[in-house]
């Protein structure tokens, strides 16, 4: 799998919903880069996502459960049947392919070595919550139109971040692979309040295969239900004996 595509798939594990719209908190003006991060212990959500590449189109439904800083659980379904289940914790990523009856397990070190990208739980969680992938570390910040922008680098990847001047949330991130010249552009929009916490409701990602001159890949995610849970929730994940380890 192309390493940039794998990075995008990880980036696409993201989260939000459709409760009341954000109002007065977007009216503030500030010159400080203070990105708003949601605070919670447990949350759940449901979303629809679409994949479109070179005429191949896929639509599915995903259910999410999260214990902040600990566990991310995802169930993916199509036509009412669960096709895959994913469990991500601070140590590894596990995947059940229920259609092919196969099981995958990767440590973050294995993923990082294979795909030449520093994968870790906090990075994935940041994407899920619409937070900065590469934290602000006193880089030079510029004001462009309605955004505060700054650039960060990680290995061969260059991150260009756009923080909304009114929302103070990450509204766009562009990731460039300096080796292949391919890029990913992820846009977060339609921000909402869920129990006073701010989340993006719509996510659109486009992969541009500049080097290979292949058609772009487009992935969109729309969340239609989300809740910040009052207490612990379950993360069911077990591997049947008949499943083949890949």
pLDDT the model gives residue 97: 92
pLDDT the model gives residue 114: 67
Domains of the chain: 3-226 (2.50.20.10)
What b/e sequence results for 145-182 when a residue is b if at least 16 CB atoms lie within 10 Å of its CB, and e otherwise? Answer: eebbbbebeeeebbbebbbbbbbbbbbbbbbbbeeeeb
CB 44 within 8 A of CB 229: yes
Per-residue pLDDT, averaged over 68-85, amounts to 90
pLDDT the model gives residue 192: 81
What's the pLDDT tens digit per position in 16-73?
333 334 433 344 444 556 677 788 999 999 988 788 887 888 888 989 999 999 999 9
Q: How far apart are CA 7 and CA 222, in angstroms?
A: 20
- Which has the higher per-residue pLDDT, 78 or 136? 78
Out of 10-14, 16-20, 57-61, 112-116, least confident range: 16-20
Q: How confident is the model at residue 107 (pLDDT cuts 50, 70, 90)?
A: very high
**Alpha helix stretches (DSSP H) within the chain:** 3-11, 108-115, 121-128
- Which has the higher per-residue pLDDT, 144 or 88? 88
């Amino acid at each position: 799998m192309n390493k940039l595509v794998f990075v995008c798939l990880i980036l696409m594990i993201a989260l939000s919903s459709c409760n009341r719209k954000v109002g007065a908190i977007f009216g503030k003006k500030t010159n400080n880069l203070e990105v708003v991060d949601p605070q919670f212990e447990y949350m759940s959500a449901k979303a629809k996502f679409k994949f479109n590449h070179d005429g191949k189109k896929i639509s599915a439904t995903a259910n999410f459960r999260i214990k902040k800083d600990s566990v991310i659980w995802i169930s993916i379904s199509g036509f009412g049947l669960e096709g895959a289940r994913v469990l991500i914790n601070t140590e590894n990523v596990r995947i059940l392919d229920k259609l092919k009856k196969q099981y995958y397990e990767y440590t973050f070190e294995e993923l990082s070595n294979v795909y030449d990208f520093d994968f870790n739980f906090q990075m994935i969680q940041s994407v899920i919550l619409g937070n900065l992938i590469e934290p602000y570390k006193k880089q030079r910040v510029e004001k462009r139109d309605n955004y505060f922008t700054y650039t960060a680098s990680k290995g061969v990847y260059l991150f260009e971040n756009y923080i909304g001047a009114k929302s103070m949330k990450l509204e766009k991130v562009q990731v460039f692979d300096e080796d292949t010249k391919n890029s990913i552009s992820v846009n977060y929009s339609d921000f909402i309040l869920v129990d006073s916490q701010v989340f993006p409701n719509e996510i659109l990602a486009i992969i541009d295969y500049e080097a290979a001159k292949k058609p772009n890949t487009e992935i969109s995610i729309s969340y239609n239900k989300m809740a910040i849970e009052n207490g612990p929730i379950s993360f069911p994940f077990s591997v049947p004996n008949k499943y083949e380890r890949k």
